[in-house]
Structure 1
Amino acid sequence: MANNTSQHILGTSSNLLGFCLFIITSLHISNKSESSMIDEYTSIIALLLTFSSILSFVSIKTTNDKIEMKIEKIANYFFLTALIGILGIIFFVLIKFWYL
């Protein structure tokens, strides 16, 4: 294994995926999903986190070091994009529910 970040990406992205699914569920239970776009954005972030998890898992399981590094780099980009998206969701939630 050339790099050790795939194990960290896999665990963290799966935890954040649970966070996104919790937000989507709580918006639908409280009937706030019709009046906001937060659940759609959160679904996109959940998809990015899922891709990141899958790619980091594949990176862990591969035996070719070149392919491992390439897949791990792509998983890093998906993960970073998802983190920035989560920051955006937090701002959306803050703005949406601050002015109720």
Structure 2
Amino acid sequence: MAIPKNLQEFNSTLIREEPDESWPVALKGLWFAAKGDWQSAHDLIDGAKEEMSSWIHAHLHREEGDEWNAAYWYRLAQRPVPKISLQEERNQLINIVLEQTLL
């Protein structure tokens, strides 16, 4: 399965059992988060080192309700704690990861 070209294509993959193995870790983590599998998303992202993974990690802790831990990861990602909804932030993250992956 190819990397989705946009958010709509990404969302259409959510009917599958697993994300494509060839996808980057950030995209797989967001896929599990979109499926409501917080633990799998966190397990993937927790070991990643790049700035985008820190932002996704922050988002996951924000979703969990752990504001202190989320704020820590937002600082590592050099991002402010967002004022938008979790869904809006997740869509933003997916769009950015897709854009970076398809370059």
TM-score by length of 1: 0.35
Greater length-normalized contact order (CA 8 Å, ≥ 6 residues apart): 1
Name the structure where helix makes up a greater proportion of residues.
Answer: 1
TM-score by length of 2: 0.34
Q: Determine which structure has more spread, i.e. the larger CA radius of gyration.
A: 1
